[in-house]
Structures are given as C-alpha cells and as structure tokens.
Chain A
Amino acid sequence: MEKIKIDATNKTPRIELDHEAGLLKIEGRSIPENSFEFYKPVMSWLDEYSKSPNASTLCTFKFEYFNTSSSKCILDIFRKLEQIHQEGSAVVISWYYDEDDEDMQETGEDYKNIIKVPFKVIPNN
C-alpha cells in the first residue's frame, strides 16, 4: 500500500498514513467546511489497510482545533480502528492535548469512553 502524506493548511491537519510502519498520524487544525470530503482518503486508506493490517498500529492524534463535523469523521476513524483491533491486530491510540486545553482533554476522554481500543490521553509538553 502507498504511503500517504498530506500537508497541513490553516484549516486542515497534517496527515501521515504508513502501512509498512503501522502508523496513522493526524495533527494540527481540522476545521474544513467539508470534513467528510477531506477525510475521504483517510477512510479509503483505512478500508484497504484493515484487510491486511500491520501486527501493531500506532495512532497519534494531536489536534489544535477541530469543528463538529470533523469530530464525527474522527469518530468514524476510531470505529474503523476499533474493528481492526477486534479482528486481532494490536492498535494503540494516543490523543495529545495542550496542557491548558481542557476542552481537548475532555474530548479525548469522551472518545476513550466509547471506543474499545487502548486509548491514551496525553498532555503535550
């Protein structure tokens, strides 16, 4: 599978998807008007990835901001990761937040409560 790298813009996050390394990384701002369109490549990559995932998948989410429609897309990504995990491959999600950003911390905790995957909520230093 192809590696995917998408550069950040002032409305969209930097994305890195690497099958060989078992890596999914999303960081920055996610406030596009059309989140579903924006996250489509990530969802298709995950669909493909889930057919033959790496023995372990390390997922990093480090958001500065995101809007409500992105929050739904992020949940869809988590659901996909949950499925990969349930089918027997190790998946770990790390959710980073700025230390003074309680909202981002709380959002991480909220996701953690509904996603059945090892999920760490970690302050940035």
Chain B
Amino acid sequence: MVNLHKYYFEMVQENILVLFKGYVTPDLLSAILEIAEQKLEELGEAKRIQKKVYNVLVEAFQNAYNHVDEIQNQLYKNSVILSVGRDEDFYYVMTGNCMYANRAPKLKSNIEEINGLSKEELKERYMSVMANEGFSDKGGAGLGLMDLIRKSGKPLEYNFTPINQEYSYFSLCVKIPVQES
C-alpha cells in the first residue's frame, strides 16, 4: 500500500524547502539551484541572507556533484541528496553522497583541521591554496569546504556512515544564521 505520509511528515517537521535524491547532471543541478533560489525569494528573507544562502548552496551542491562523479558504480552515483531547510535560527544546506571509504579518513581530518581555524587563519589558508596549489574544476585541496565555512561563519557538521567495505556515505551540513551576527 502506498503511503507517503511518513516522508511528508518528516519533511514538514524538518522544514525542508528543497529536497532531491538521485543522480545529478549539470542541467538538473541548474534546475535545482533555480528552484532553491525562487524558494528563498518567496520567503522574503533579507537580500543579504538570501545571497549568502544561495552562495553556500551553489558551492555545497556543486561540491557534492563533483565528487560523486568520481564513482563508477551507477547505484552509488545515484546516491546524491541535496537539501535546504530552515528553522527559526538557521538555514541548513545539506548534502549527502557516496564516496570511496578509503578516502574518508583524509576528508575527515581535512574538515577537522579547517573547522579548527580562526577566521583569519582560514582566509590566509584559502588565499595561499588558491594562489599556489594545483586546482581544477573538480576542486582542489578543500577550497570549496573552506569557502563554506568562510561564507557561513560556522564550522561544518558532517558524518561518515560505512555502507560496505568499498563505500561510505558522507553527510555534510552547513548552518547559516538567519539573524545577522
């Protein structure tokens, strides 16, 4: 028997504005970004906050898209979740995707490290990586993640859930305060 109430209820409870699960193509990503932008406008948020949230979600969604493309297996390619939610205090830009389990420890220590940097240190690191290190469309040396912290002003929340020996599921949440700090 079909019953979507469970999903509906969870989405209402978590104030989900946008939620997508599946394989992401560039066209699809454009469409999702467009929908998310419209939703933000409809909420009538201050332009400044709207812009910040949009900026963060472009970066976060493209990041998830870039990384899942490295995976060969179609089942795990279909694993991307892109979501935006909001409560009284924060916007939540959330992404999930499968990744190779053997890359998880390095990503984890990278996130831990940049989460621990001060605003000034983060800026220095960002500029120096951008100016000096190898970098491609597929990202480089965690610049995208640093950007997410810089724009949101908050450390990244994340989780790795092992799926099997080869794959882990990576969840990322960027919180953006609704009130000006």
Contacts and interface: CB of A to CB of B under 8 A. Distances in A.
A26 B151 CA distance: 22
A100 B52 contact: no
Interface centre among A33, A71, A98 (most CB of B within 10 A): A33
Interface SS majority for chain A: helix
B127 A101 contact: no
Contacts of A110: 123, 127
**Is the interface on chain A under 10, 10 to 19, 20 to 34, or 35 or more residues?**
20 to 34
A71 B59 contact: no
B54 A33 contact: no
Size band of the interface chain B makes with A: 20 to 34
B33, B47, B51, B150 pick with most chain A CB within 10 angstroms:
B51
A90 B116 CA distance: 42
Contacts of B14: none
A7 interface: no
B137 A33 contact: yes
A124 interface: no
A68 B66 CA distance: 12
Nearest to B151: A103
Contacts, number: 58
Contacts of A2: none
Most A CB within 10 A of own CB, among B58, B65, B140, B150: B58
Interface string B142-160: 0110010011000000000
A75 B133 CA distance: 12
A68 B137 contact: no
A33 B136 contact: no
A33 B62 contact: yes
B127 A69 contact: no
Nearest to B128: A114
In order of increasing CB-CB distance, the 10 nearest A-B pairs are A100-B48, A68-B144, A68-B143, A68-B147, A31-B58, A34-B137, A72-B135, A36-B137, A33-B26, A69-B137
Interface of B: 26, 29-30, 33-34, 47-48, 51-52, 54-55, 58-59, 62, 65-66, 123, 127, 130-131, 135-137, 139-140, 143-144, 147, 150-151
Interface of A: 10-11, 31, 33-37, 65, 67-69, 71-72, 75, 98, 100-103, 110, 113-114
